[in-house]
Amino acid sequence: MAAAGYTNPLRDARDRRIPRVPDPCALVVFGVTGDLARKKLLPAVYDLANRGLLPPGFALLGFSRRDWGDADFSQLAMESAQKGARTPWRDGVWERLAASIRFVPGAFDDDEAFDTLQQTLIELEDSHGIHGNAAFYLSIPPPAFPTVLKQMQRTGLADSGDRGWRRVVVEKPFGHDLASSRDLNQLVDSVFTADDVFRIDHYLGKETVQNLLAMRFANTLFEPIWNANFVDSVQITMAEDVGIGSRAGFYDGAGAARDVLQNHLLQLLALTAMEEPVSFDADSLRIEKVKVLGAISLPSDLHAYAVRGQYEAGWLAGERAIGYLEESDVPADSTTETYAAVRLGVETRRWGGVPFYLRTGKRLPRRVTEIAVTFKRAPHLPFPVTDTQELGRNQLVVRVQPDEGVTMRFGSKVPGTAMEVRDVSMDFLYGEAFTESSPEAYERLILDVLLGDATLFPRNLEVEASWRVLDPLEAFWVGSQPERYRAGTWGPAGSDAMLRRDGRAWRRP
Ligand SMILES: NC(=O)c1ccc[n+]([C@@H]2O[C@H](COP(=O)([O-])OP(=O)(O)OC[C@H]3O[C@@H](n4cnc5c(N)ncnc54)[C@H](OP(=O)(O)O)[C@@H]3O)[C@@H](O)[C@H]2O)c1
């Protein structure tokens, strides 16, 4: 029998052995020939089918400006799935999925194509019994959003009628500043109701990010020390070893702060610093995240505590890497940053005075995303100073990717006759602790969209609160030159100087 106080009869007592499968529905992907659809979305749909998580009445619709029929789209989906799927290839699964595939050719300003799409969905009610349920994934360039949303409004695609549901999935970037994000939110909210809008920040679909919440709120161990009394500082890093590849058109003019800091890093900060939600549902999480995002402060001295950089040619993993200005389609005089670092504060009783250092960059030595919480030193050490020379600070590192897991660093006695204390690490590795492999972030998020579970999707107020942090930073950087750093190094010297000024140093993951 459960101990008193440990059961909540109001909570959903779902049997976890029975997987949650969505209602019969259609998933419509706009921009299905694009990079995201081919690399992530189509493989994720196959993986969901392979795991038996799609309903029997499921239809996959592609919309794109190609003179294609269903068979051509089916071929693209098969190739994408074979290349990118996480689960093994099974002909039977594919054949069932392929039978549900439809393609609607057209450009976004083509009224007739949208009428055909509407008609196709009506036909799928008879053939697949989708009951009017449909999710529309906007995997399209951001400037196309207004056109597509207006087409959906005009044709009634956004209206579920009185039978099913209609949902829309919006990819980042959610605008390029507060004003444009508000415009975008208003536009989306004028076509869909707020509960039917799913903004994707794929970091929230990652197991390790969700584990941060499990770690904090399912244990008694961490929460009592998760505050300014015990925490010295927090570092949140998202480092990439790749350059911008063929994304210059999107990246140049946007830069690292808009591309990563505004969304992924601030979401990670919010989950690290927020108070416990009353329950693990979309509204309760949103309330806490908005509160903490609203409490973020920028340093008064941005010259000292905000750094932007741009990579120059260098060497990475034994290979020569070209500089940002040499990348194709990047203007020779571009001042776009490929590295951004900033010190933020969280003005709450829990976090007052604790610096949160955020950094992200391209062409850094390795691909790694982690949250490192460093604790204060013990107020007193009853050992001779010489015995604790190699004792650092306690640290808890949540590795989001790769090598997903958690590492705890603490002091331990070195074997021998002296009382020498040195740092050791205790490691939890996802791959070793669990036999099931983690689903891809997009797999989890697409399933949640079809289930109507918005827990892992940032809401408009969160997005706006994040832009409120970023706008003054971007304004401060306007007209300035980014500091150069060599590809294959850990970013510009100014970023190291920023932490040195505080008597700290960046971790070298
Ligand atoms: N790629 C990623 O890893 C990634 C990551 C995070 C977020 N995102 C976001 O996801 C969205 C899609 O990104 P992406 O990289 O897949 O872009 P992409 O490769 O440029 O693909 C864009 C898609 O939209 C279609 N399209 C563009 N204009 C059209 C029009 N007027 N009419 C009909 N179709 C049109 C393109 O069709 P054509 O093939 O005919 O040009 C293509 O299928 C963007 O909002 C991006 O910011 C992407």
Query: Which of 179, 284, 272, 200 has its CA nearest to residue 458?
Result: 200
The residues with which 315 forms a beta bridge, in sequence order, are: 320
Q: What's the CA angle centered on 503, arms 500 and 505, to 5 degrees?
A: 55
CB of 139 within 6 A of ligand 1: the answer is: yes
> 343 with 357: CB under 8 angstroms?
yes
pLDDT of residue 35: 92
Domains and CATH numbers, the chain: 25-171 (3.40.50.720), 204-443+457-501 (3.30.360.10)
Summarised one tens digit per residue, pLDDT across range 390-405 is 899 999 999 998 889 9
pLDDT of residue 313: 97
Nearest CA to ligand 1 atom 39: 33
Confidence of residue 239 (pLDDT cuts 50, 70, 90): very high
CB of 35 within 6 A of ligand 1: the answer is: yes
Q: Taking residues 40-58, report their average pLDDT.
A: 96
Summarised one tens digit per residue, pLDDT across range 53-110 is 999 999 999 999 999 999 999 999 999 999 999 999 999 999 999 999 999 999 999 9
pLDDT of residue 241: 97
Residue 162 has pLDDT above 90, yes or no: no
Pocket test of ligand 1: the residue of 140, 150, 169, 201 to mutate, having most ligand atoms within 8 Å of its CB, is 140
Amino acid letter, residue 158: A
C-alpha distance from residue 180 to each of 40, 142, 199, 231, 467 (Å): 27, 11, 15, 36, 10
Q: Taking residues 12-33, report their average pLDDT.
A: 83
pLDDT of residue 9: 46
pLDDT of residue 12: 54
Whole-number Å distance, alpha carbon 36 to ligand 1 midpoint, is 7
Amino acid letter, residue 112: E
Summarised one tens digit per residue, pLDDT across range 293-347 is 999 999 999 999 999 999 999 999 899 999 999 999 999 999 999 999 999 999 9
Summarised one tens digit per residue, pLDDT across range 110-150 is 999 999 999 999 999 888 888 899 999 999 998 999 999 99
Confidence of residue 5 (pLDDT cuts 50, 70, 90): very low
């029998």: which residue's tokens? Answer: 1
Confidence of residue 17 (pLDDT cuts 50, 70, 90): low
- Sign (positive or negative) of CA dihedral 209, 88, 104, 64: positive
pLDDT of residue 129: 86
Residue 7 has pLDDT above 60, yes or no: no
Residue 279 has pLDDT above 70, yes or no: yes
C-alpha to C-alpha distance for 491 and 411, rounded to whole angstroms: 30
Residues recognised as catalytic: 264
Mean pLDDT (the chain) is: 93
Considering the chain, what percentage of its residues have pLDDT values greater than 90? 82
pLDDT of residue 275: 97
Q: Is 122 exposed, middle or buried (0-12, 13-18, 19+ CB in 10 A)?
A: exposed
Confidence of residue 434 (pLDDT cuts 50, 70, 90): confident
> 35 with 106: CB under 8 angstroms?
no
Residue 6 has pLDDT above 70, yes or no: no
Whole-number Å distance, alpha carbon 72 to ligand 1 midpoint, is 18
Whole-number Å distance, alpha carbon 249 to ligand 1 midpoint, is 12
Confidence of residue 2 (pLDDT cuts 50, 70, 90): very low
Pocket test of ligand 1: the residue of 65, 111, 170, 198 to mutate, having most ligand atoms within 8 Å of its CB, is 65
pLDDT of residue 200: 94
Q: Taking residues 453-479, report their average pLDDT.
A: 95
Cβ partners under 8 Å of residue 311, min gap 6:
243, 321, 323, 324, 338, 339, 361, 362, 363, 484, 485, 486, 487
pLDDT of residue 396: 97
Whole-number Å distance, alpha carbon 139 to ligand 1 midpoint, is 5
Please, what is the end-to-end C-alpha distance for the chain in angstroms? Answer: 45
C-alpha to C-alpha distance for 339 and 363, rounded to whole angstroms: 9
Query: Which of 369, 376, 413 has its CA nearest to residue 393?
Result: 376
Summarised one tens digit per residue, pLDDT across range 354-378 is 999 999 999 999 999 999 999 999 9
Pocket test of ligand 1: the residue of 36, 68, 138, 169 to mutate, having most ligand atoms within 8 Å of its CB, is 36
Whole-number Å distance, alpha carbon 138 to ligand 1 midpoint, is 8
Amino acid letter, residue 436: E
CB of 65 within 6 A of ligand 1: the answer is: yes
CB of 108 within 6 A of ligand 1: the answer is: yes
> 503 with 494: CB under 8 angstroms?
no
C-alpha to C-alpha distance for 191 and 195, rounded to whole angstroms: 12
Tokens (6 digits) for 304: 């000292």
Residue 51 has pLDDT above 80, yes or no: yes
Across 47-51, 96-100, 415-419, least confident range: 415-419
Residue 252 has pLDDT above 70, yes or no: yes
